[in-house]
Homo-oligomer: A and B are copies of this chain.
Amino acid sequence: MKPVNVGLCGLGTVGSGTFNVMKRNLDEISRRAGRPVRITHIGARRDHPDCDTTGITVSRDIFAVTKDPEVDIVVELIGGYDVAQELVLAAIENGKHVVTANKALIAVHGNELFKKAEEKGVSIAYEASVAGGIPIIKALREGLVGNRIQWLAGIINGTGNFILTEMRDKGRDFADVLKEAQELGYAEADPTFDVEGIDAAHKLTILASIAFGIPLQFDKTYTEGISNITQADVNFAEELGYRIKHLGISRKTEQGVELRVHPTLVPEKRLLANVNGVLNAVLVEGDAVGPTMYTGPGAGSEPTASAVIADIVDVARGVEGESNVPHLGFSDHTTDLNVIDIDEIETCYYLRINVEDKIGVMAKVAQIMSAKDINIEAIIQKEPEDGETTVPLILLTQQVKERDMNSAIATLEALAEITTPITRIRMEPLDG
């Protein structure tokens, strides 16, 4: 059968991994695709020391790849928004299928890009954009197609999970672990995208659209990072039988769809709570199948390449026709379900309140909670440390609306006996 020609744009971490894995596994990949699959054109501003590109056209102008009449599939691995968007649009305009690992691009510009691609009868495949090498897009868009998805929850940023794992396992501080993650190359020099949850919000936006058949709505995703999590919180959570994970959560309710990224207490007996280090995992609850979970490396050169190549082969296997799987899983991805405001969301909460070590404080706190109709599930109150005049009071609450919790916290913080801001972490049972 006719070979499939791949044009690779970008020869950085993921690009070089894709190049090398395709070369190394050329035989198996072609046998699986049922035809030769080969890189014929590379667009990259500079060579990569690990890639021997002898015999392959290399252009310093990446747009040359989109104009190459021999190229069937343009693989966009340059990252970022603007140039990547231009590149993908140029490829579509020239009738090329596109494979991309760019979560920011898909989360922010996906709706328009998919529309353009459909008009032109080409596909944009983006498995590598969420959870690296884990085939989660395929699982949601094809494997679980018989289900009404009820919710999903994912550890979808490896750097954040590495930091939280180290804080728990080794009692280290956030800042200290973050520094190591940067040195190890997990976190970017500017780690905001990772630790403030923006990267996870990009990925959650994509997962939720596929799960629920809604347009991509990154701007409506509630995003909270992990930089305020302290060693004390990790330890108290542990004592109560929980682990703190930075989760992206999306749930369909009668009011609409929840889209939220925040630190979360998860019962330690859940498998998801035991996914550690840089691993990612996505737990999906379907009405027929129940819970299924997908775990693996969420980033890195060859794990991401694995997903890029799966997309290339998917396109190659159906390259001559139109894609049979709709971009966002639904043929009419227009169900515009309301995205629920964070104020309206109901969860359980962990609260850490520094209170003055005086008689009657606990009674005041309990009275305020009771007046706000918030039920308390568990309490820890310890003796003050030597020389301290305040003690941490830990409360776990039953389910309550975020707005009501905010109001209770404001009332608590107005007490004379509470002199520092209250730490509030949401809790999820993740039990269906």
Chain A residues within 8 Å of B, Cβ to Cβ = 17, 21-22, 24-25, 28-29, 31-34, 127, 132-135, 138-139, 142-148, 213, 271, 274-275, 286-297, 302-303, 305-310, 312-314, 317-318, 321, 324-326, 329-332
Contact = CB atoms under 8 A, between A and B. Distances in A.
A220 to B, nearest CB: 22
Given A21-B288, A31-B332, A326-B32, A313 B142 contact: yes
Contacts of A330: 28, 31-32
A290 B296 CA distance: 8
A303 B289 CA distance: 4
A120 to B, nearest CB: 18
A310 B306 CA distance: 23
Number of identical monomers bound together in the oligomeric complex:
2
B288 A302 contact: yes
A143 B135 contact: yes
A286 B303 CA distance: 9
B135 A139 contact: yes
A138 to B, nearest CB: 5
Contacts of A33: 145, 331
B133 A290 contact: yes
A309 B309 CA distance: 26
Contact of A147 (B25, B34, B294): B25
B306 A288 contact: yes
B292 A296 contact: yes
Contacts of A324: 34, 317-318
A250 B22 CA distance: 24
A32 to B, nearest CB: 5
The 8 closest A-B pairs by CB, nearest first: A135-B143, A146-B309, A292-B296, A133-B289, A34-B331, A289-B306, A317-B324, A288-B302
Nearest to A334: B31
A331 B37 CA distance: 13
28 contacts: A24-B148, A25-B148, A25-B288, A28-B213, A29-B145, A32-B145, A133-B286, A133-B292, A135-B138, A135-B142, A138-B143, A139-B143, A142-B314, A143-B307, A143-B310, A144-B310, A145-B313, A146-B305, A146-B312, A147-B306, A274-B274, A288-B303, A289-B296, A289-B302, A289-B303, A290-B303, A293-B294, A318-B324
A312 B148 CA distance: 16
Contacts of A138: 135, 138-139, 142-143
Nearest to A300: B290
Contacts of A147: 21, 25, 28, 306
Given A146-B309, A275-B271, A295 B296 contact: no
Contacts of A329: 32
Nearest to A297: B290
A144 B314 CA distance: 11
Greatest chain B CB density within 10 A among A146, A290, A293, A314 is at A146
A146 B22 contact: yes
Nearest to A305: B288
Greatest chain B CB density within 10 A among A28, A34, A148, A326 is at A28
Given A17-B288, A138-B138, A290-B303, 10 more contacts: A29-B146, A31-B330, A33-B331, A138-B142, A271-B271, A288-B305, A289-B296, A289-B306, A293-B293, A317-B325
B291 A296 contact: yes
A267 to B, nearest CB: 13
A331 B146 CA distance: 27
A350 to B, nearest CB: 24
A341 to B, nearest CB: 25
Greatest chain B CB density within 10 A among A142, A143, A324 is at A143
A292 B134 contact: yes
Nearest to A295: B293
A302 B292 CA distance: 13
